[in-house]
Amino acid sequence: MAFGFGKSGGGGGGDYDSSEEFEIESILFQGAVNGNEVDLKANARLAHAGLVPAKELVSDALARRADMIRVDPKGRVAMVTLYVDGVPYPGGRMPAQQALAVTQMLKLLAGLSIKDRQHAHAGGIITDYKETPYHLLINTTPLKSGGERLVVRPRNLDEQLETPDDLGFSEDLRVRIRELTANRHGVVLVCGPPNSGVTTLSFATIRSIDAYLYSIFSLADFGGRSITHITQADVKEDETFDMQLARCIRSEADVIIVDPLNTPDRVEMVFQNAARVCIVAEYKAPDAATCITQLRETLGAESVADRLSLVLSQKLIRLLCDECKQAYKPNPKLLQKVGLPPETKVLYRTPQPIDGEPPDECYKCGSIGYYGRTGVIQAIELNDPIKHLVKKGADARMIKNQARKEGMQSFQTDGLRLVAEGKTSLEELQRAFKA
C-alpha cells in the first residue's frame, strides 16, 4: 500500500502527522453551508487548539482522495480511518484531546452547536482545496463511553455524479425508465443500503426522463443542486403534502419528484395519487425486492401491485485505474463459471507481479489499482408475473428470482457488464458483494 497512512506506513499504529511524507496544500474554510455566522474570535481558545489540526486532517485526506474521514475516540487516543473509494484504510491516531478539539472546531465551522455533545449533529462547511470547491458534510454522534464520533464526507462540487452516463446506466435501463414514466401514472422508487449513493441514483433516474417531451415538477429539496428543464414547485407553508401534489397535477404535470418517503402517511399519499401522475421518490430499503415486500406490509398487496411501476437499487463498486489496469486472457472455465460470454477475449485487473517483479507505482491511484466508483444497479419492474407474486405474498428472494427469470437487470448482470467492458474487475465484484 503506497499511501502510508500514519507513522507506521499504513499500520495505523503511529501518531497522526499529515506532513511527514510530503507538503500538504492546506484547505480553506469559507463558511457554514447553513449560513450561520462563525465567530472565531469568541472561540479563540478552541480555534488555537483545533483549527490547524482540523485543516491538516482534512487536507491530508483530500490529498489521498478520501471520500470519508472517521475519527473514533478510544480512551486516551482517537483512531482515524480514511475511506478511499469506499474502502477503509488506517489513518493513524491522535490524542483524544486533540480529536475533541478537531471535532468541536469542525462543528463550529459548520454552524453547529459546540455546547451540545449529547445529541447527533449534521451540517456542512463550504471549502476550497487546490482551487476546487468542496462541501464538507459533517456528522457527529455521541458515544456511551463519552466523546463524539466524527464523520466528514467531502463532496467535490466539480465532480458530482448526477447523470445516467456518470453512473454507467445501460441503454436498456434508460429505455425502460423513459417508457414507464411516459405512462403518466405509477410510482418509481429508488432505494439502497446506507452510503450507496441513493440520492445520486435518484438524480440519474430523473435525468433519464425526457424533460423535453414531458412536464416534470419537483417538490423535493435537492440540497442546492438543480436539474435543468424541471419546474421547481413553490412549497407553501399552509399546504399539506396532498395539497401540493394536487396543485402539481392541476398544472398538468406528467411526473412529480418528491422528497424521500419516510413515513407511512407519505407513502400512502403518494400511492393514492399515482393513478393520476407518475411519482418518483426515494425509499429506505436495502434492495429492490425488499423494498417491494416492505411496501406490501404498509399498503397491502393490491395497492403495490396496481401502482408500483419500477424499483431501482444500487451498490457502488470501484473502477479500475485507467493508468495501470492490466489486461489478461481469461480461462474459458472461469468465463463459464461467472456467466460471461465464451467469446470474451480479454478482461482487466489490478497490476500483478511479472516474473516476480512488483508492478510499477501508479501516481494516479496511489498504486491501489482503482480510481473512482460507479453504480451496479438492480431494476425490478412490476410486470404481470411479479404482480402475481406480490399478491401471493412471495418473499423478497422469490421476487428477485422471478425478476432474473424475466431478464430484468440484476446486480450480477450489471456487474458482469462492467467487467466485460473493462471498467472493473471480477475481484472487485467479489469484494463488493461478499456476504
Report the pLDDT value the prediction gives residue 212, as an integer from 0 to 100.
84
64 and 135 in a single domain? The answer is yes
Residue 163: inside a domain: no
Using DSSP, state whether 170 is helix, strand or coil: coil
59 and 120 in a single domain? The answer is yes
- The pLDDT of residue 6 is above 80: no
Residue 23: inside a domain: no
Torsion-angle region of residue 50: left (phi > 0), alpha (psi -120 to 50) or beta?
alpha
Residue 14: inside a domain: no
Q: Give the CATH number, domain containing residue 418.
A: 3.40.50.300
Report the pLDDT value the prediction gives residue 421, as an integer from 0 to 100.
93
Residue 115: inside a domain: yes
Give the separation between CA 414 and CA 420, rounded to whole angstroms: 10
Angle between helices 288-299 and 396-405 (to 10 degrees): 130
Residue 41: inside a domain: yes
Report the pLDDT value the prediction gives residue 226, as an integer from 0 to 100.
66
83 and 216 in a single domain? The answer is no
Q: Which of 73-82, 171-180, 280-289 has the lowest mean pLDDT?
A: 171-180
- Do the beta carbons of residue 362 and residue 321 sit within 8 Å? yes
Q: Give the CATH number, domain containing residue 54.
A: 3.30.450.90
- The pLDDT of residue 157 is above 50: yes
101 and 126 in a single domain? The answer is yes
How does pLDDT run across 187-216, given as a tens digit for each residue?
999 998 887 888 888 888 988 988 888 899
Its pTM stands at 0.82
100 and 222 in a single domain? The answer is no
DSSP annotation string for 33-73: TT-PPP-SGGGHHHHHHHHHHHHHHHHHHHHTTEEEEEEEE
- The pLDDT of residue 88 is above 50: yes
332 and 199 in a single domain? The answer is yes
Report the pLDDT value the prediction gives residue 232, as an integer from 0 to 100.
85
> Exposed, middle or buried by CB within 10 Å (0-12, 13-18, 19+), for 299?
buried
- Give the number of domains in the chain: 2
142 and 188 in a single domain? The answer is no
> Exposed, middle or buried by CB within 10 Å (0-12, 13-18, 19+), for 363?
exposed
Range of the domain at 314: 171-433
234 and 137 in a single domain? The answer is no
Report the pLDDT value the prediction gives residue 238, as an integer from 0 to 100.
83
3-state SS, 212-271, equals: CCCCEEECCCCCCCCCCCCEECCCCCCCCHHHHHHHHHHCCCCEEECCCCCCHHHHHHHH
Report the pLDDT value the prediction gives residue 4, as an integer from 0 to 100.
35
- The pLDDT of residue 9 is above 50: no
210 and 150 in a single domain? The answer is no
314 and 411 in a single domain? The answer is yes
Give the separation between CA 70 and CA 137, rounded to whole angstroms: 12
Query: Which residue, 156, 184, 213, sits at the end of a domain?
Result: 156
> Exposed, middle or buried by CB within 10 Å (0-12, 13-18, 19+), for 200?
buried
Query: Which residue, 130, 156, 182, sits at the end of a domain?
Result: 156
Residue 309: inside a domain: yes
- The pLDDT of residue 72 is above 50: yes
How does pLDDT run across 103-119, given as a tens digit for each residue?
999 999 999 999 999 99
Give the separation between CA 251 and CA 211, rounded to whole angstroms: 16
User: Using alpha carbons only, what angle is made at residue 123 by residues 203 and 258, rounded to the nearest 5 degrees?
Assistant: 30
How does pLDDT run across 324-351, given as a tens digit for each residue?
999 999 999 999 999 999 899 999 999 9
Report the pLDDT value the prediction gives residue 182, as an integer from 0 to 100.
87
294 and 365 in a single domain? The answer is yes
Give the separation between CA 216 and CA 241, rounded to whole angstroms: 17
How does pLDDT run across 124-154, given as a tens digit for each residue?
999 999 999 999 999 999 998 888 999 999 9
How does pLDDT run across 294-321, given as a tens digit for each residue?
999 999 999 999 999 999 999 989 999 9
- pLDDT above 90 coverage of the chain, percent: 71
Name the most confidently modeled range: 18-27, 168-177, 382-391: 382-391
- Do the beta carbons of residue 14 and residue 93 sit within 8 Å? yes
- Do the beta carbons of residue 187 and residue 274 sit within 8 Å? yes
Whole-number average pLDDT of the chain: 89
Residue 70: inside a domain: yes
Confidence of residue 15 (pLDDT cuts 50, 70, 90): low
How does pLDDT run across 370-411, given as a tens digit for each residue?
999 988 999 999 999 999 999 999 999 999 999 999 999 999
**H or E stretch at 426:** helix 426-433
Residue 5: inside a domain: no
- The pLDDT of residue 256 is above 50: yes
Query: Which residue, 156, 184, 211, sits at the end of a domain?
Result: 156
283 and 312 in a single domain? The answer is yes
